[in-house]
Amino acid sequence: MNIEEKIELPLLVVRNVVIFPYMVIPLNVGREFSVRAVEESLKRNSEIAIFTQKKIEKDEMKKDDIYEFGVLTNILKMVRFPDGTLRILVEAIKRIELKDFKIDEKTKMSKGEVVVLNEIGNQKDKDKEEEALYKIVKNKFETCLSRGLTVTPEIISPTIDVELPGRLSDIITAQLDINLEEKYNALKELDVKKRLELTIENLNKELDVLEIKNKIQDKIKKGMDETQKEFFLREQLKAIEEELGIQVENDEEVERYKNEFNKRKFPNNVKKLAEKEIDRLSRLPLDSSEAGVIRSYLDFIIELPWKDVSKGKLDVKKAKEILDETHYGLKDVKERILEYLSVKKISKELKTPILCLVGPPGVGKTSIGKAIAEAMSRKFIRISLGGVRDEAEIRGHRRTYVGALPGRILTGIKQSGKSNPVFMLDEIDKLGYDFRGDPSSAMLEVLDPEQNIDFVDHYLEMGYDLSKVFFITTANRLDTIPAPLRDRMEIIRIPGYSLNEKAIIAEKYLIPRQKKQNGIEKYEIVIEKMALEKLILNYTREAGVRNLEREIGKVFRKIVKKIVMGEEYPEVVNENEIEKLLGIPKYEMSDTEDIHDIGVVTGLAWTEFGGDVLNIEVNLVPGHGELILTGKLGDVMKESARIALTYIRSKIDNYNGDKEYYKNYDLHIHVPEGAVPKDGPSAGITLTTAIASKLLNKPISNKIAMTGEITLTGRILPIGGLKEKLLAAKLRGIKKVFVPKKNEKDLIEIDEEIKSGIEIKFVNYAEEVFEELQLQQG
């Protein structure tokens, strides 16, 4: 190595490029330490050291991240862009070696200590060996040019005329399409003879590539019509793959698909489309992306059950036994299923109904679908629609999109392997929509017996018959389901369970199941009826039995732990044992004491989780007649409060109340549990009674509850969810309930167990409630 001198210079680190002496090249500069280095160089004599970094993805630089050899350059021109980046034109002068690299903490500039190097050889007066290598390089370069090597046109003539062998090697190496490491090896080689040998090696590689390329071109041109561009491209691709040793033999796969479609029965339109796709596949390379899309499509068509149906014998009596064994109560649901099965047994014209099971969580909506499938000897498929916002989830994606998939409906049918499964669409009331479309609109075709005979999935691109599928949907509430979709379904309401019903369900289903799951079937452990009732009343508060099953499981797990630890465990679980095992009760029943409060009235509410009891409170505070509403009330409930206040003000004279109260007082209405949203019109009569109680200074018993929407004239309108509301009232110890007169017909469907112990008063007007509560007197 011939060292000339050691100097310190601003240093520029470049990515993915190796610069050789005598090159003039533009560079983009963006990193702060590089920009500062360029600025510092221009302040001095425009000299800057340029080195190549080893890994292009790194931004923070250390000496080990930079190749040791680089070039000393002059900056010829600099342009600054608005975003602070620079574009510079540099001329490389000499090879240099990096001895030290750092980024100045004050100036944030990259600089390095470098050694300027002299080459060994590279003279006009060459020795014989050098002369021979020089001529070989020139000849091979000219041969490459004649075979089609692509280089910058401006350098061809100057390159051929270069007399210095080292310079010739540098210019040619810079033009070759070789990797960064190979170019760097040529840069760091100071011995000109060795560098010429490297150049010859690289030129030989280039000649091999050019020869193969030309061979491919010649092979294609022999059998090609110049006007058939597509044919040319396909033949070129085939020739390249043959040269690389890739066998494009997809005849076997095409034959397999043909056999699949021949040996099974498919509708005619399906066969025609499949034949078209198979023909396309036969003309494509085996590993092309388009061939992959076609294979996935053909596989999906083959796996879809077009004519495969479950052929189990329909036995209506057996179906009734299965439904009774697996689910307690649910008379309406069972009756409707048995009606359908009975007609189906004797008539082939019956269109499959779309059932919608509506009720609170945990009442058995989803599990009844499995029982129906078992009763009908059909496959059962369930998908959850909660949170689905993309229409493509239902209808699928068009195959033109990358990663296209069929929709959930046909995917479920494919998984079942039959074209007539029982298909449960869970949580249909929780479908959403956004910029990707409206899934509920896509469901209109799925759930319409008149239309779903030819349901079109975007991925499949042809109709599929869904008329044989027994669709069952579930929902917690109906008001969030769009009206057109709701109209296509038969609504069957599943109300919450009474205390007695929950106890029976626990004894028949939940306790045996939890014993089995917790591995204590062989142990004679019994939960007493009173203990079970305590579990229901004090540890759960729900319309269904989901949490009840969790608590039963918790009891058994506590007992299992005692068994495993060798401790004494209770074989009979009574009320006291329940509290020992589960701790302090989560919920307390209402006090048996009858408390009378002024301005506090109990109302009954319906939620998607069942019935509930609300205490509405009213108070007067000094002010100017404002109405203050708190408790996270919805718009409808706020309107009910304003209607109630207007009605009371219009009738206050009849009750000897202070009709001038609003001049000196504000009326504050609050519904406790302020973090829980509340809405709906059925609190109207409760709000009215609470205001009257406060203005007339008359207390109301906490054992009295009421429900009903009120009008400005005091008329009480009917409400929904009467069974759930009465059930909640009974569990809270309510003794008397005021219900709209028009709901009297609903009482027929409510079990005597729920009605017993509660006095139900049907009323048409608010005056009837006030008369019953003796609110008329001053």
Annotation-wise, does 166 bind a ligand? no
Pick the closest to residue 692 from 625, 605, 774, 594 (CA basis). Answer: 774
What distance in Å separates the CA atoms of residue 280 and residue 460, rounded to the nearest whole number? Answer: 17
Annotation-wise, does 737 bind a ligand? no
Tell me if residue 146 is catalytic.
no
Distances (CA, A) of 295 to 279, 401, 463, 473, 716: 12, 15, 20, 34, 65
CB neighbours (10 Å) of residue 141? Answer: 24
Locate tokens 């449960």: which residue? Answer: 424
Pick the closest to residue 141 from 168, 180, 179, 178 (CA basis). Answer: 168
What distance in Å separates the CA atoms of residue 654 and residue 226, rounded to the nearest whole number? Answer: 102
Residues β-bridged to residue 26 = 89
Helices (H) and strands (E) in the chain, counts: 28, 26
| Residues 124, 163 contacting (CB under 8 angstroms) | yes
Pick the closest to residue 747 from 718, 777, 712 (CA basis). Answer: 718
Annotation-wise, does 689 bind a ligand? no
Annotation-wise, does 10 bind a ligand? no
What distance in Å separates the CA atoms of residue 480 and residue 387, rounded to the nearest whole number? Answer: 13
What distance in Å separates the CA atoms of residue 705 and residue 613, rounded to the nearest whole number? Answer: 8
The DSSP letter of residue 675 is: T
User: Catalytic pick from 682, 693, 698, 723?
Assistant: 682
Annotation-wise, does 553 bind a ligand? no
User: Catalytic pick from 140, 334, 725, 730?
Assistant: 725
| Amino acid, single-letter form, for residue 444 | L
CB neighbours (10 Å) of residue 759? Answer: 12
Distances (CA, A) of 292 to 298, 397, 649, 741: 10, 16, 76, 67
| Residues 745, 739 contacting (CB under 8 angstroms) | no
- The helix-helix angle for 180-188 and 192-222 (nearest 10°) equals 150
Q: Extract the tokens encoding 375.
A: 């009763």
Angle at 584 between CA 582 and CA 587, to 5 degrees: 105
Annotation-wise, does 611 bind a ligand? no
Annotation-wise, does 519 bind a ligand? no
Tell me if residue 41 is catalytic.
no
Secondary structure of residue 572 in the 3-state scheme: strand
Pick the closest to residue 166 from 277, 57, 282, 21 (CA basis). Answer: 21
What distance in Å separates the CA atoms of residue 35 and residue 11, rounded to the nearest whole number? Answer: 10
What distance in Å separates the CA atoms of residue 774 and residue 757, rounded to the nearest whole number? Answer: 23
What distance in Å separates the CA atoms of residue 424 and residue 384, rounded to the nearest whole number? Answer: 8
| Residues 9, 44 contacting (CB under 8 angstroms) | no
Measure the N-to-C terminal CA separation of the chain; round to a whole number of Å.
Answer: 117
Annotation-wise, does 365 bind a ligand? yes
What distance in Å separates the CA atoms of residue 373 and residue 361, rounded to the nearest whole number? Answer: 21
86-103 and 716-717 strand pairing:
unpaired
CB neighbours (10 Å) of residue 107? Answer: 14
Pick the closest to residue 166 from 143, 139, 199 (CA basis). Answer: 199
Secondary structure of residue 54 in the 3-state scheme: coil
Residue 495: phi, psi to the nearest 5? -75, 175
Pick the closest to residue 573 from 476, 506, 672, 640 (CA basis). Answer: 506
Write out the E strands in 702-753: 704-706, 709-710, 716-717, 736-740
Which active-site residues does the annotation give?
682, 725
Q: Per the annotation, where are the binding residues? A: 359-366
Q: Per the annotation, where are the binding residues for ATP? A: 359-366
